Amino acid sequence: MGLFDFFKKKETAPEAQEALDKGLEKTKDGFFNKITKAVAGKSSVDDEVLDNLEEVLVTSDVGVSTTLKIIKRIEERVAKDKYLSTSELNFLLRDEIQLLLSENNSNDFRQFEYGEHKPYVIMVVGVNGVGKTTTIGKLAHKLKEANLKVVLGAADTFRAAAVDQLKLWGERVGVRVVAQPMGSDPASVAFDTLQSAVANGEDVVIIDTAGRLHNKIGLMNELGKIKQVMQKVVPNAPHEILLVLDASTGQNAFEQCKQFTEATDVNALAITKLDGTAKGGVVIGISDQFKIPVKYIGVGEKINDLQLFDKKEFVNSLFK
């Protein structure tokens, strides 16, 4: 069974949809309040409405370049249809955002099948405080529920709290954690984790890494060394480099994405803390600007509140 199939099977659609709707409430409220003000007193979509809409999207953390793309598309639709009422604007906006997301993430998570690699190695990157360790714990829980054997590697050896937190998650979800004393070489922890995973026949390895953007060269060297050492045990590891971003940081999330994608080959994104912010627009902007699939979104604090990102469901929920 692919991971996608498992997630869908385990989370009955109503439960997952309800959690998503609830998680996007703050973004939705802020977004629609702004749109309502943008079209107040107008019956048709004119230049002033488009200018106001542009401001709404930018202030909702969609990002300037993505906003300009969306506005251009809407302008083209308005020119083609000659007349569009402001009441149609929401439907039009929803369609254009969905189209944009589907164009950007051509390799959708539905295509991801776990079975090609054993162990399947995920290296998790991101700055401290974005919910990295929590995301690892919740993902490990999902995989374990799918009857996959999971091991975690505590390669963020610069913060004692990071290692302790990962151990707590390991105990909570019932998966093994490989750790060394604080200050140990992160690459050594990753090497040990992969060696023991191969010896124990484990299915998935998730490696936590230090979230320090002290400087890009230092980050690049450190992540590069971890990758090289892992490949001595599992050729082509890591199969997935998952960047965790906190939606509530808004434009900072774009900057972090830029730094990490320049430092290493990020091929998947997890966007967390959507439930605690009105800045859910970052999901749209980051997906568009970096052309990296958003695989997971965090929509709450419960252990099952890490969801697979479904573009259509996300946008539909936003426009409900």
Q: Tens-of-pLDDT digits for all 320 residues of the chain?
A: 455 454 544 454 678 889 999 999 998 888 878 888 888 888 888 889 999 999 999 988 999 999 999 999 999 988 887 667 777 888 889 999 988 888 875 555 543 346 578 999 999 999 988 999 999 999 999 888 888 899 999 999 988 789 999 999 999 999 999 999 989 999 999 999 999 999 999 999 999 998 876 567 788 889 999 999 999 999 999 999 999 999 999 989 999 999 999 989 999 999 999 998 888 899 999 999 999 989 999 999 999 899 888 888 899 888 88
CATH 1.20.120.140 segments of the chain: 14-103
Q: Which pLDDT belongs to residue 213?
A: 67
Thinking of the domain 120-319, which architecture would CATH place it in? 3-Layer(aba) Sandwich (3.40)
Q: Look at residues 44, 51, 52, 37 and name the one whose alpha carbon lies nearest to residue 85.
A: 44
Q: Model confidence over 230-245: pLDDT tens digits?
A: 999 999 999 999 999 9
Q: The pTM is what?
A: 0.91
Please give the Cα distance from 123 to 174 (Å, whole number).
20
CATH 3.40.50.300 segments of the chain: 120-319
Which parts are annotated binding residues? 126-133, 208-212, 272-275
Q: Which pLDDT belongs to residue 167?
A: 97
First and final C-alpha spacing in the chain: 32
Do residues 175 and 89 make contact, with C-beta atoms less than 8 angstroms apart? no
User: Residue 319 corresponds to which amino acid?
Assistant: F
Please give the Cα distance from 240 to 123 (Å, whole number).
6
> Which residues fall within 8 angstroms of residue 61, CB to CB, at 6 or more apart?
250, 251, 279, 280, 281, 282, 285
> Which residues fall within 8 angstroms of residue 16, CB to CB, at 6 or more apart?
307
Which parts are annotated binding residues for GTP? 126-133, 208-212, 272-275
Angle at 71 between CA 68 and CA 74, to 5 degrees: 150
> Which residues fall within 8 angstroms of residue 87, CB to CB, at 6 or more apart?
none
User: What tokens does 251 get?
Assistant: 């434009």
Q: Which pLDDT belongs to residue 125?
A: 96
Domain 14-103 sits in CATH at: 1.20.120.140
Q: Which pLDDT belongs to residue 1?
A: 46
Q: What stretches of the chain show up as alpha helix (H) in DSSP?
A: 3-10, 13-23, 25-38, 47-59, 64-81, 89-104, 132-145, 160-173, 186-200, 216-231, 251-263, 282-290, 311-318
Q: Which pLDDT belongs to residue 45?
A: 86
For 167, the 3-state DSSP assignment is: helix
Please give the Cα distance from 175 to 187 (Å, whole number).
21
> Which residues fall within 8 angstroms of residue 109, CB to CB, at 6 or more apart?
3, 4, 293, 295, 308, 309
Q: Which pLDDT belongs to residue 4?
A: 46
Q: Which pLDDT belongs to residue 114?
A: 60
Please give the Cα distance from 158 to 224 (Å, whole number).
17
